Amino acid sequence: MALKFGGILGFDNGIVLAPMGPDVAGPKLVAAVANAGGIGLLASPSNNYDMTQKAITETKRLTSKPFGAGILLEFENTRTVQAIFDEKLACLQVYWGDYPKEMVDEAHKNGVKVLHQIGSIKEAEKAIAAGVDCIIAQGVEAGGHIIGTIGLIALLPRVVDVVGDKDIAVVAAGSITDPRCYVAALALGAKGVCLGTRFIASKEAYAHDYYKEQLLHYTEADTDRTDLYSRASWRAPVRCLNTPFHNQWKNAPESAENNDEQPIIGYSVIYGGETVLRRFAGQVPNPTTSGELENMVYYAGQGVGLVRDILPAAEIVQNFVDGAKKIIKEFNEKYNPPESVPAVPLTSS
């Protein structure tokens, strides 16, 4: 049964699955989140119509609920977006660039709602002007690619204030790993929360078991913001686990990049094609990955210290919803107790 709590954009609840790539947020994870009433977002193949359509079809086999997909605006994705429109997905998450009004209007004409993830007020203002349906405010403590430099607790209420009374849902992203984080985001004005690291540690995530297990052994003090990975194609900051490998190389010179001069550390099959992983590659390992797992990158947010188990995605969603309800109920009882009824004096006849 769907969990009715904090629904946004027509979904049953305000839990959003981050479209973690290259394929961690695959059909099984997206369907599991969708079936639990949340907003599941596929990590879309880059500018590939057929592979995007295949991933969407596989997801539809696992759920009859609406779901969406995410794209990176840094790269050409016309073919991917066309597949999303043709398959009539519920929503499109865009990130790392501008998505102007004419593009938002095109999505709306195709029945697709637009969620724009941002990391600054300037970006939020552009998204508002474009007429998006949802703004995901990402704090710098988030895992994976992080576009901004401001912490979530400072950024989120500012975004909420800028949105004002416009019909745009605001969602919080960055270290949201347990129900207390959900309630804190609601208190700051968000309507929902976007989870990444917490959903990597799920049964359905298309991540290597080694990756999932690593998340259970690191804390908020054990992540690093760096641009070391994928420099050959895209110099962008990410937050990753400060593993022994990363600690050894994090101060490497700017010339260090994942080019053909770097040794091969493994192989992965990503969307049906074999990918050669060289040292400093930005791809995290999926279940097909072989090679030097200890020498690969592992994206995670600062909330990783609250990730203590690997659970089914539906259970994660239920824990967030039930936990938030419980906390709010306890707050109401503690800080807003019902007024006591004055005693009626007894009178004698």
- Predicted local confidence at residue 6, as pLDDT: 76
- In this structure, the answer to whether residues 200 and 216 fall within a common structural domain is no
- In this structure, the answer to whether residues 283 and 190 fall within a common structural domain is no
**pTM attached to this predicted model:** 0.94
- Predicted local confidence at residue 88, as pLDDT: 98
- Predicted local confidence at residue 116, as pLDDT: 98
- In this structure, the answer to whether residues 137 and 214 fall within a common structural domain is no
- In this structure, the answer to whether residues 143 and 216 fall within a common structural domain is no
- In this structure, the answer to whether residues 123 and 224 fall within a common structural domain is no
Where are any strands of DSSP class E within 242-318? 264-270, 273-278, 290-291
- Predicted local confidence at residue 341, as pLDDT: 54
pLDDT at 348 exceeding the cut of 50: no
Q: Enter the tokens of residue 199.
A: 């959903």
- In this structure, the answer to whether residues 74 and 191 fall within a common structural domain is yes
Could you tell me which of 184, 196, 204 has the C-alpha nearest to residue 323?
Answer: 184
**How much of the chain exceeds pLDDT 90, in percent?**
94
Kindly report the CA angle at 241 between 27 and 250, in degrees rounded to 5?
Answer: 125
Task: Domain of residue 184: give its range.
Answer: 15-206+308-326
- In this structure, the answer to whether residues 49 and 176 fall within a common structural domain is yes
User: pLDDT class for 344, splitting at 50, 70, 90?
Assistant: low
- In this structure, the answer to whether residues 202 and 213 fall within a common structural domain is no
Angle between helices 49-62 and 27-35 (to 10 degrees): 40
Q: Enter the tokens of residue 67.
A: 């779901």
- In this structure, the answer to whether residues 67 and 198 fall within a common structural domain is yes
- In this structure, the answer to whether residues 197 and 259 fall within a common structural domain is no
Count up the domains in the chain and report the number: 2
Q: What share of the chain is helix, strand, coil (3-state, %, to 5)?
A: 35, 20, 45
pLDDT at 339 exceeding the cut of 80: no
- Predicted local confidence at residue 2, as pLDDT: 43
pLDDT at 4 exceeding the cut of 60: no
- In this structure, the answer to whether residues 238 and 297 fall within a common structural domain is yes
Other C-beta atoms closer than 10 Å to the C-beta of 177 total 29
Mind listing the pLDDT tens digit for each residue in 96-124?
A: 999 999 999 999 999 999 999 999 999 99
Average pLDDT over residues 284-313: 98
pLDDT at 1 exceeding the cut of 50: no
Q: What is the CATH number of the domain that holds 190?
A: 3.20.20.70
Burial of 338 (0-12, 13-18, 19+ CB in 10 A): exposed
Q: Could you tell me if 41 and 69 are in contact, meaning their C-beta atoms sit under 8 angstroms apart?
A: yes
What whole-number distance in Å separates Cα of residue 23 and Cα of residue 206? Answer: 7
- Predicted local confidence at residue 338, as pLDDT: 76
- In this structure, the answer to whether residues 179 and 213 fall within a common structural domain is no
What are the b/e assignments for 82-110, b being 16+ CB within 10 Å?
A: ebbbebebbbbbbbbeebeeebbeebeeb
What whole-number distance in Å separates Cα of residue 18 and Cα of residue 142? Answer: 11
Chain-wide mean pLDDT for the chain? Answer: 95
- Predicted local confidence at residue 218, as pLDDT: 98
